[in-house]
Every structure is written in C-alpha cells, then in structure tokens.
Chains A and B, each alone.
Chain A
Amino acid sequence: MPDLFAASATPADLMAARVQMAVSLGWHIIVACFGVGMPVLTVFAEWRGYRTGDDAYVRLAHRWAKVMGVLFAVGAVSGTVLSFEMGLLWPELMATYGQVFGLPFALEGFAFFIEAIFVGIYLYAWDRLSPRAHVLSGLPVCVAGVASAFFVVSANAWMNTPRGFDLVGGRVTHVRPWAAMFNPAMPLQVIHMILAAFMVTGFCIAGVYAVGMLRGRRDRHHRLGFLIPFIAAAIVTPVQVVVGDALARHLATAQPPKLAAIEGLTRTGSHVPLSVGGVFVDGELRYAIHIPNALSLLVGYRPSTVIQGLDMVAPADRPPVNPVHLSFQLMVAIGFGLLVLSAWFALAWWRRRDLPRSPWFLRLSALSGVGAVLALEAGWVTTEVGRQPWVVWQHMRTADAVNPAPGLWAGLLAVLAVYAVLTVATAYVLNRLRTRPVTAPQEEWADEALDAGTGTAREHGP
C-alpha cells in the first residue's frame, strides 16, 4: 500500500487535525483555568475559616475542594491528551523544533507533578493533618498551577516569536533553550493568560452564587460564595485591559500581519483609524465604525505612526481576517463589559459596603462567567488563527507540520464523540455537587463500603 505513505496530508486531513487540536485545546483551557484559579480561592476560604472560626468559610472550602477534585482530574487527563496530540497530529513540528521549545514543557511536567501530588494530599488529608498543615499543603498547588500556566504559555509564545536557534542550510542548530523560553512574546502573553484564568474562575464561581441569590438564597454562605471569587476577578479585570492593550502594541512590531488581521487593515499607512465591529468581505472591512487615528495613537501615541497592513505579506502568508477580527472584537467587548460590572460593584461597595441593590447586577454577574469563558476562547482564536498559516511564525507552515498518515478525519470524529460525552458527564457531576449538602471532601462511599466490609467503625472527619 504505497499510497499509505503519501508525503503530505490531504487538505481534509489537515483541517481535521486543526479542528481536533482546537477542540481538545479549547476544552482543556477552560478546566486548566480553574486549575490555576480555584486552588487560590479554596485555600483562601479555608484559611479564613480556620482563622476566624466562621463555619460559612469552612463549608465553602469543602464545597470548592470537591469541585476542584473533579475539575483537576478532567484537567489532568485532557491535558495528557494534548501532549499526545503534539506528536500524533504535528510530528514534523516536534521532530524539527521539539528540542527548541521542549524545555518549558519539561519544566511544566515538574510543575504538574507537584500540583498532582499536593492536590492528592490537599483533597484526601483533611483529617490526617492539622488545620494549619492542611492549609499549607494547599499552597504548593496554588504556586504550581500558576507555574504550569507560565511554562505552557511560554512555549506557545515561542511559536509566535520563535527564538533561540539558528537555521543553517535549513537545519536547526545552535539551540539555546533558555533564549527560546524567554522569547519576546512570553511576558505579556503569560500575564494575559494567568489573569484570564483568574477572571474565568472568579466570574464563573461568582455566577453560580449569583444565581442562587437571585433565587432568594441570601444567607451568609451565598454572600461569601459570591464575594470572594467576584472580588478576586474584579481586581484582576482592569489590569487585564491594560495588559491586553500592551499585547496588541507588541503585535505591531512582533507580528504585524496578525495585528492587521485583528483590525482588518489591508493597506499600510499612517493616521490609521481603529475599526470597531464590521466584517471583512472581498478584501475590505465593511460596516465597521472607524475612530479616526485611534489605532496609530494606540500603537505609537501619535497619529503619524505607520501601521503595517496585510499588503506587507504575500497573500499566501496572510491569516484569515474574519475569525481573527471578530474574535478579537468579542474579547475586547467582553473585557470592557466585565470592567464596567467590576466598577459598578466597586462603587456600591465603597459607598455602602454592600452589593449594588439592582437585581440587574446579580443578573449580569450570573452571566459574567459565561462571558469570561467566551473571552478566553476568543482570545485563543485571535492568537492561534492570527498566527496562520504558520505553526512556527515565519518558519514552519501548519500544513507542513501535520501527520501525513491517512484517516485523521476518523480520529477527529472519535475525538468529537469522546469530548461530547465528557462534557455532558462533567456538567452533570458538577451540577450534582452544586445541589448536594456539603460534607468533608475525603473518601465517601468508599469509606462506608470498606468499613462495612471490614467491620471497623470509624468516625467521619470534620
């Protein structure tokens, strides 16, 4: 069967590989955000409960720890799938550049190790450790979660600004792994991602309690369950807008065609307006609102700043404009929406130490989590689609990285089915956890089964 070993994948297989990567990554990134943000909120609640003796905090910590257990497990396995897919779908990328951007992944392996070990201890040892030691055992989880995000996103940033190697006669040599890891796009992209993780976690959890409060459950448990995550997210939001702005400015020099696609800018020039909304048809951005000179001002602080348009690169090297432009608009719109919501809360809190009275505040807060997740996904579309047609910016095309094996579309169908089932099951289990009475988070039915089987009676933990 010589045709089995055709040198390159069909366009359909390439598309299948890209969709498979997008779906599994887009899925994982949501739970990964909770992996970064949730331990911090949970350990904080536990620590407050331990310090103040306030039972409401303790119950929140117990509840969140259970949710964290489920989310960490699905995060761990969906993340493993991604590391498989790097090789299964993009073997040429790994064969050529694996050694260049592998170091952050190796580091992330250790961060993930520490996270998994201490998650095991944190979730299962509530009654084996003193309260103080238990709170402390949660801290490595918090640190390792943020560190993982840092390492993984620095590898992604390398794909945007590849550094740390020389090309001699088409071969990669003189690899400098630290220079690759600390590439120019890394700092801002990493910060933007970590802040996004805290926004997603904070607004999502706050949203759950906002729904409860709208249904009339206004007790202290719900109030704290809303306040802790909401305040965390609200503090992060303004910073996120500033970082996002800096990131866009960085694109003007690092990846001008990406910025051009974000803005739907076809022609290079000065006095470039900022385009809000609109769609890209027949090579032009239509129906957009143009704010005169604004893009030039945002990038270079004066109207005469020249911004490169799509015309600076050959048509074959341009990213598709609509997905990039529209997803960027969505991310920014949601970012500003969440900023307004946070400001509303801050104002009410400053005036009366209480939530805004209007039911619209809770209604919007209930939706804020969905909004943050949408912004997260839109951000990834901006970054990833905006980098096309390259997988490694101006060095390797996505089409050249893909596995030439036949039948990748069959793999895609299977992956879609698996993730559909996983989504339904995860949502179902999380919803059950929401409605069940709170108990201490260590072993449950297993304890009873084992005790019944061995005839030992044991009192349950706190």
Chain B
Amino acid sequence: MTAAQWLLVIAWLGITAYALLGGADFGGGFWDALAGGPQRGSAQRGLIEHAIGPVWEANHVWLIFVLVLFWTCFPLVFASVASTLYIPLTLAAFGIIARGAAFAFRKASTELWQLRLFGGAFALSSILTPFFLGTVAGGVASGRVPLGITRGHIVESWLNPTSILGGLLAVGTTAYLAAVYLTADARRHGSVELAETFRRRGLAAAVVTGLLVLGGVAVLRADAPRLYAGLTGRALPVAALSALAGVVSVVLLIKRRYVLVRITAALAVAAVLWGWAVAQYPVLLPPGGTVSRTAAEPGVLRATLATTIVGLLLLVPSLIWLFALFQTQRPTR
C-alpha cells in the first residue's frame, strides 16, 4: 500500500471513531431533549451528563484530526468540499459551538432556569450538528461536490434526497448508539429502571434507523446511482455485515446483553461507513477525484504518516486510560 492509501485508511478510521464516540455524545443530547420535564427527566439527564462529561472533548478531537489529515494529505479534496458545502459546514460549526459551550455552561450551573436554558441549547444543537454533517456526507456520496473551488451548486449540493437521507441517518445512528451505550452505564450505576428506559429507546431507534436504511436504498438507487451500484456490487459483503450486526444487536438488546450489544451496534454503524468507502474507492470526489490524483506530494505524505504513527502511539494508551477510568465505578470513600 502507498503512503496515501495508508493515510486514507487512518483518516477513515478517524471518521469511524468520530461517528462511534463523538456520535454517541450527540445522541446523548438527543435523549436529553426527549427526557421530559425537569423532575421526571433529571435522572436520565444526570446519567447522560455522567457518561459524556469526561470524554466528549476527547471524542470531539477526532473530527479535527480528520480535518487536518485531509487538508494536509488531500488538500484539493478538503478545499473542494469546504468551499462548495460551506453553508451546511458553517451551520455544523455553529452547532458544535452551541453544543460544547452549552454543555460546559450547564455543568457550571445550579439554578433550574439556567439548567433548562443551557440544556435546551445543548439538546437542540446535538440533533442539528449530526444532521448537517450527514448532509455533507450525502452531498459527497452522491457526487455533487466536484473537484475544484466552489464548483458544485452551493445549495443543491446539500439540499437533495441523498443529503437529507444522510442527515436523518446521522441523527438516527447517533441516537441509537447513545441509547445502547447508556443501557450498560445505567446498569453499572445500579439502576434497572434507567437501563430499561434506554433499552426501550434503543430498540425504537434501531427500528426507525433500520427502516430509514431500507427506504434509503430506494433513494440511493434513484438519486445516487453510482453509489448504489457500488454498494450492491463490490461493497455488498460490507453492507450485509452491517445488516447482520444490526439484527444481532436488536436480539441482544431484547436479551439485555448490554455490554455485548455495544460491540455489535458499533459494528453495524461502522460497516455503513466502510461500505460507503469500499463502494467508492479509489474515488474520493466522484467522478474524477481519485486518491492518486488528489494526494499531496510523497514527501508530505511520508512525514505525515510518520508523525501520525508516533502520535497514535501516544494517543491510544491515553485514550484507553481515559475510558477505563470512567467505565469503572468510583471508589467510595
């Protein structure tokens, strides 16, 4: 494999990590929005806050990691996407500001009106941000972002059937992942009731997202034929793996196997992303933007790959410690 291919794989792993970890943090905001009034919803909100508080900033950095890898290693791809899709990306950026700031402000608040104000901003932006990021993915996947600065239509590139599908899928999967992850968190905190709540929600989200995917097949067939051909051709095994993992997750949720279901649910979502990648490879921006055409110079790629490997050696153990620390019960004093 060339350095460009390695870096592409690493960047796609970064996107996957962002979807599975950062995505679940957004999903936490989704359930925060639906938790009900301040009295009834407070235990749920407390659980969500607990789960995402220590980790959301680290999870968020995956996005930055992916951005800088693309702009260093595939600069024209980055510039094309950013310039054509600047409207949804600006809206996603606002969502990112609102989500992170409101979450931190709510943590520092005590009075009910503050908790509600910042909590509302947090919840709303947690739904809108993945939606807009999903429309970006849909625009790229349906070939509406040509290579070049602002070559695509600045509105239709993200207001189209595939983009809307991408946006809804993003919201659906983040909510689904969050519900699944929260079941085990609730059980660890000793609350059967909360675990049951999130189990029901996880099942509902699984059904809704599953239906979205099935309907999406028809949308892609009409609106993004090239992607459809790839998904039903070369990427079919990956797509089938996603479907299988999705079904197994539902079964595991029903059986209350909360730790195992984390793995299968994550696998189902990751397989969607990798199915897209396999279907499209080696094209980054259809039709002409292939890996070899858009990659930076070899010297740049080698330097970036080397630093990325060294960086990951520092990063991975730190991340493992972070998650291990907060996935165990606090020592009682």
Q: Which A residues form the contact surface with B (CB < 8 A)? A: 1, 4-5, 66, 69-70, 72-74, 76-81, 83-88, 91-92, 94-100, 102-103, 105-110, 112-114, 116-121, 123-125, 127-128, 140, 173-178, 403-406, 411, 414-415, 418, 422, 425-426, 429, 432-433, 436, 443-456, 458-459, 461
Q: How far is A454 from B192 in the complex, measured between Cα atoms in Å?
A: 8
Say whether A116 contacts B61, CB under 8 Å: yes
Q: How far is A365 from B118 in the complex, measured between Cα atoms in Å?
A: 34
Give the residue name and chain of the B residue nearest to A67 (CB).
B108
Say whether B191 contacts A84, CB under 8 Å: no
Given known A-B contacts A453-B194, A454-B194, A81 and B93 have beta carbons under 8 A apart: yes
Given known A-B contacts A81-B97, A405-B86, A120 and B57 have beta carbons under 8 A apart: yes
Within 8 A of A (CB), among B82-127: 82-84, 86, 89-90, 92-94, 96-101, 103-105, 107-110, 115, 118
Give the residue name and chain of the B residue nearest to A85 (CB).
B93
Q: How far is A374 from B330 in the complex, measured between Cα atoms in Å?
A: 44
Give the residue name and chain of the A residue nearest to B62 (CB).
A113
Instruction: Give the top 5 A-B pairs by smallest Cβ distance, nearest first.
Output: A453-B43, A87-B82, A102-B72, A98-B75, A449-B46
Q: Residues 23-61 of chain B: 1 if any A CB is under 8 Å from the residue's CB, otherwise 0?
A: 000000000000000000011111101100111011011
Say whether B82 contacts A444, CB under 8 Å: no
Q: How far is the CB of B4 from chain A (nearest CB, A)?
A: 11
Which of B235-243, B251-259, B301-309 lies at the binding interface? B301-309
Q: Which residues of A contact B43 (CB under 8 A)?
A: 449-450, 452-454
Say whether B303 contacts A418, CB under 8 Å: no
- Chain B contact surface mostly: helix
Give the contacting residue for B83; candidates A91, A117, A127; CB below 8 A: A91
Give the contacting residue for B333; candidates A99, A100, A110, A461; CB below 8 A: A461
Task: Please name 29 pairs of A and B residues whose Cβ atoms are closer than 8 Å in the assembled complex, sorted by A.
Answer: A74-B100, A74-B104, A76-B100, A77-B101, A80-B96, A88-B90, A91-B80, A94-B78, A105-B72, A106-B72, A110-B314, A116-B58, A117-B318, A117-B321, A120-B58, A128-B330, A176-B299, A403-B86, A405-B154, A418-B94, A445-B109, A446-B45, A446-B50, A450-B50, A450-B189, A453-B42, A453-B194, A454-B191, A454-B193
Q: How far is A184 from B46 in the complex, measured between Cα atoms in Å?
A: 51
Interface centre among B43, B189, B300 (most CB of A within 10 A): B300
Given known A-B contacts A127-B331, A403-B150, A105 and B68 have beta carbons under 8 A apart: yes
Say whether B108 contacts A70, CB under 8 Å: yes
Cβ-based interface call for B81 (8 A): yes
Say whether B296 contacts A99, CB under 8 Å: yes
Give the contacting residue for B299; candidates A84, A177, A453; CB below 8 A: A177
Q: How far is A212 from B97 in the complex, measured between Cα atoms in Å?
A: 32
Q: Which residues of B contact A4 (CB under 8 A)?
A: 153-154
Say whether B93 contacts A84, CB under 8 Å: yes
Q: Which residues of A contact B99 (CB under 8 A)?
A: 77
Give the contacting residue for A444; candidates B68, B103, B110, B151; CB below 8 A: B110
Say whether B79 contacts A83, CB under 8 Å: no
Say whether B82 contacts A429, CB under 8 Å: no
Q: Which residues of B contact A100 (CB under 8 A)?
A: 300
Give the contacting residue for A121; candidates B67, B193, B325; CB below 8 A: B325
Q: How far is A92 from B151 in the complex, measured between Cα atoms in Å?
A: 12
Give the residue name and chain of the A residue nearest to B326 (CB).
A124
Q: How far is the CB of B6 from chain A (nearest CB, A)?
A: 14
Given known A-B contacts A99-B73, A103-B300, A425 and B194 have beta carbons under 8 A apart: no
Q: Which residues of A contact B318 (CB under 8 A)?
A: 113-114, 117-118, 140
Please report the number of residue pairs spanning A and B whose Cβ atoms sit closer than 8 angstroms: 294
Q: Which residues of B contact A454 (CB under 8 A)?
A: 43, 189-191, 193-194
Q: How far is A422 from B93 in the complex, measured between Cα atoms in Å?
A: 13
- Chain A contact surface mostly: helix
Give the contacting residue for B307; candidates A106, A406, A445; CB below 8 A: A106
Say whether A91 contacts B150, CB under 8 Å: yes
Give the contacting residue for B72; candidates A70, A85, A103, A403; CB below 8 A: A103
Q: Which residues of A contact B194 (CB under 8 A)?
A: 453-454
Cβ-based interface call for B63 (8 A): yes
Q: How many interface residues does B have (CB within 8 Å)? A: 85
Say whether B322 contacts A121, CB under 8 Å: yes
Given known A-B contacts A84-B82, A114-B315, A403 and B149 have beta carbons under 8 A apart: yes
Q: Which residues of B contact A94 (CB under 8 A)?
A: 71, 75, 78-79, 82
Q: How far is the CB of B191 from chain A (nearest CB, A)?
A: 4
Cβ-based interface call for B128 (8 A): no
Q: Which residues of B contact A74 (CB under 8 A)?
A: 100-101, 104
Give the residue name and chain of the A residue nearest to B147 (CB).
A95
Say whether B104 contacts A73, CB under 8 Å: yes
Give the residue name and chain of the B residue nearest to A426 (CB).
B101
Say whether B78 contacts A98, CB under 8 Å: yes
Q: How far is the CB of A84 from chain B (nearest CB, A)?
A: 5
Cβ-based interface call for B9 (8 A): no
Say whether B308 contacts A106, CB under 8 Å: yes
Q: How far is the CB of B299 from chain A (nearest CB, A)?
A: 6
Cβ-based interface call for B297 (8 A): yes
Say whether B108 contacts A77, CB under 8 Å: no
Q: How far is A119 from B60 in the complex, measured between Cα atoms in Å?
A: 13
Given contacts A73-B100, A103-B303, 4 further A-B contacts (CB under 8 A): A87-B82, A88-B90, A92-B149, A426-B105
Say whether A125 contacts B325, CB under 8 Å: yes
Q: How far is the CB of A426 from chain B (nearest CB, A)?
A: 7
Say whether A102 contacts B304, CB under 8 Å: yes
Q: How far is the CB of B328 from chain A (nearest CB, A)?
A: 8
Give the contacting residue for B42; candidates A107, A443, A449; CB below 8 A: A449
Given known A-B contacts A84-B90, A92-B79, A103-B300, A432 and B108 have beta carbons under 8 A apart: yes
Cβ-based interface call for B64 (8 A): yes
Q: How far is A78 from B98 in the complex, measured between Cα atoms in Å?
A: 10
Give the residue name and chain of the A residue nearest to B328 (CB).
A128
Cβ-based interface call for B76 (8 A): yes
Give the residue name and chain of the B residue nearest to A453 (CB).
B43
Give the residue name and chain of the B residue nearest to A5 (CB).
B150
Cβ-based interface call for B2 (8 A): no
Say whether B93 contacts A69, CB under 8 Å: no
Q: How far is A91 from B76 in the complex, measured between Cα atoms in Å?
A: 8
Q: How far is the CB of B95 from chain A (nearest CB, A)?
A: 10
Within 8 A of A (CB), among B146-194: 149-151, 153-154, 189-191, 193-194
Say whether A107 contacts B96, CB under 8 Å: no
Give the contacting residue for B105; candidates A70, A103, A120; CB below 8 A: A70
Q: How far is A108 from B311 in the complex, measured between Cα atoms in Å?
A: 10
Q: How far is A74 from B297 in the complex, measured between Cα atoms in Å?
A: 35
Give the contacting residue for B191; candidates A80, A173, A175, A453; CB below 8 A: A453
Q: Which residues of A contact B299 (CB under 8 A)?
A: 174-177
Say whether A445 contacts B80, CB under 8 Å: no
Q: How far is A449 from B277 in the complex, measured between Cα atoms in Å?
A: 42
Q: How far is A4 from B311 in the complex, measured between Cα atoms in Å?
A: 42
Q: Which residues of A contact B42 (CB under 8 A)?
A: 449, 452-453
Say whether B110 contacts A445, CB under 8 Å: yes
Cβ-based interface call for B220 (8 A): no
Q: How far is the CB of B150 from chain A (nearest CB, A)?
A: 5
Give the residue name and chain of the B residue nearest to A118 (CB).
B318
Cβ-based interface call for B218 (8 A): no
